[in-house]
């Protein structure tokens, strides 16, 4: 039976990435050695790192004056690195979910954190309104809220340096990088296996704080050493490069965005139509095109487990909602084919027929 992979992360990757990485695990770049056993300072791997940085810049149209870094520590270590490097007196944060809250908690250790909007009152099922103060060192947002299925789908005009966690929507749409000071994320959704974290950083944002920054948490260390201060996650960086190649060969972020919008509309339309289900996010503007969350409609709650079992039996993998919110979540990342969305819709319709 064909499996349809809707996991939220780690999650589906292009078949191309998996095959090329599998080849390199056996024989990397004709060296006769596995990618897992070559030095990160070998000329073959340095070429991989350089090409990954170059393609990242090309695909996202990153202007001059920005660096692209591939680091360890997950998106979670960025929650601390950001205040270490940017926080002087005060920062603004938008609270749109569990990941935002973790970022806020880390920043609070550095001083005054102004939470300028929060959707916690409704289990984070919308994007709150906000107005950005001018007297803060930076403003932090989570563009796509993986757990709740909300997304800020445009590039905010900010009067202060804008910092964005794009763990689960990087490369899903074109972005205007010039509007951001830092964009970061774990790679394990749209890019690579877990283990590498990408950071796009505007170089001139640094050097403005007085504190001692631990060497590994200092962005300048990694900019100066081109992500080779210590051993980078070699295999995930190699896999990331394969996904970047795949993106380039498949029309880049514009083409991804078009297909992602199409896939998301197909599924949201079915959720809105099907009398058994309801979308977790009501406002169309706030609905994520990467993580589509839905629950059983009132009166059908007892069908949650039967639907999960039915869908799982038909090859739908990873559709359980996050443990903190329940219901269902279908993640529709770049590599997920439209065919998988159609298969899920067919399963929802068959279940509806069976439960009339």
Residues in the site for ligand PLP, rule: CB under 6 A? 9, 74-76, 99, 142, 146, 165, 167-168, 186
Nearer to ligand PLP by Cβ, of 113 and 347: the residue is 113
Phi-psi region of 74 (alpha: psi -120 to 50; beta: other; left: phi over 0): left
- Kindly report the length of the chain: 356
> What span, in angstroms and rounded, lies between the C-alpha atoms of 260 and 280?
19
Nearer to ligand PLP by Cβ, of 142 and 243: the residue is 142
Q: Are 72 and 232 in contact (CB under 8 A)?
A: yes
Burial class (CB in 10 A: 0-12, 13-18, 19+), 218: middle
Nearer to ligand PLP by Cβ, of 73 and 133: the residue is 73
Nearer to ligand PLP by Cβ, of 55 and 98: the residue is 98
Nearer to ligand PLP by Cβ, of 21 and 167: the residue is 167
Least distance in Å: CB of 99 to ligand PLP?
4
Which residues are catalytic, by number? 99, 165, 189
Least distance in Å: CB of 98 to ligand PLP?
8
Nearer to ligand PLP by Cβ, of 113 and 343: the residue is 113
> What span, in angstroms and rounded, lies between the C-alpha atoms of 172 and 290?
8
Least distance in Å: CB of 63 to ligand PLP?
24
Least distance in Å: CB of 239 to ligand PLP?
15
Bridging pattern class, strands 139-142 and 162-165: parallel
Least distance in Å: CB of 351 to ligand PLP?
28
**Bridge partners, 316 (sequence order):** 4
Maximum CA pair distance of the chain?
A: 66
Least distance in Å: CB of 266 to ligand PLP?
23
Q: 3-class DSSP state for residue 31? A: coil
Nearer to ligand PLP by Cβ, of 167 and 260: the residue is 167
> What span, in angstroms and rounded, lies between the C-alpha atoms of 64 and 115?
32
> What span, in angstroms and rounded, lies between the C-alpha atoms of 17 and 329?
24
Spell out the residues 6+ positions from residue 46 whose beta carbon is closer than 8 angstroms to its own.
Answer: 40, 228
What are the CA-CA distances from residue 148 to residues 8, 75, 124, 195 (Å)? 11, 18, 6, 24
Least distance in Å: CB of 208 to ligand PLP?
25
Q: Hey, what are 190's tokens?
A: 């749209």
CA 267-268-273 angle, 5° bins: 100
Q: Hey, what are 297's tokens?
A: 């409609």
Nearest Cα neighbor of 284 from 154, 151, 165, 148 is 151
């Amino acid at each position: 039976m064909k499996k349809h992979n809707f996991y939220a992360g780690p999650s589906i990757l292009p078949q191309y990435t998996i095959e090329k990485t599998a080849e390199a695990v056996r024989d990397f770049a004709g060296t006769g050695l596995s990618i897992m056993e070559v030095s990160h300072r070998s000329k073959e791997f340095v070429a991989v790192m350089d090409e990954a940085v170059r393609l990242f810049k090309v695909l996202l149209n990153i202007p001059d004056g920005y660096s692209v870094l591939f680091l360890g520590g997950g998106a979670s270590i960025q929650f601390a690195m950001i205040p270490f490097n940017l926080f002087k007196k005060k920062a603004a944060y938008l609270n749109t979910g569990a990941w935002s809250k973790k970022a806020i908690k880390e920043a609070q250790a550095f001083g005054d954190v102004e939470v300028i909007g929060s959707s916690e009152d409704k289990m984070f099922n919308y994007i709150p309104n906000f107005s950005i103060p001018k007297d803060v060192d930076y403003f932090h947002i989570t563009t796509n809220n993986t757990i709740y299925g909300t997304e800020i789908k445009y590039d905010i005009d900010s009067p202060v340096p804008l910092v964005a966690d794009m763990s689960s929507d990087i490369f899903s749409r074109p972005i205007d990088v010039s509007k951001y000071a830092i964009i970061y994320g774990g790679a394990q959704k749209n890019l690579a296996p877990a283990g590498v974290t990408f950071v796009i950083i505007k170089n001139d944002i640094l050097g403005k704080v007085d504190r001692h920054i631990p060497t590994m948490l200092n962005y300048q260390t990694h900019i100066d050493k081109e992500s080779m201060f210590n051993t980078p996650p070699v295999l995930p960086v190699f896999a990331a490069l394969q996904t970047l190649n795949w993106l380039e060969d498949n029309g880049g972020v514009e083409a991804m965005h078009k297909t992602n919008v199409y896939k998301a509309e197909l599924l949201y339309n079915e959720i809105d139509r099907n009398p058994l289900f309801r979308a977790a996010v009501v406002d169309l503007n706030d609905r994520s095109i990467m993580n589509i969350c839905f629950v059983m409609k009132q009166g059908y709650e007892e069908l949650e487990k039967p639907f999960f079992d039915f869908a799982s039996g038909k090859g739908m993998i990873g559709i359980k909602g996050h443990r903190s919110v329940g219901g269902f979540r279908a993640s529709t990342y770049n590599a997920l084919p439209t065919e998988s969305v159609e298969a899920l819709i067919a399963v929802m319709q068959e279940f509806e027929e069976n439960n009339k």
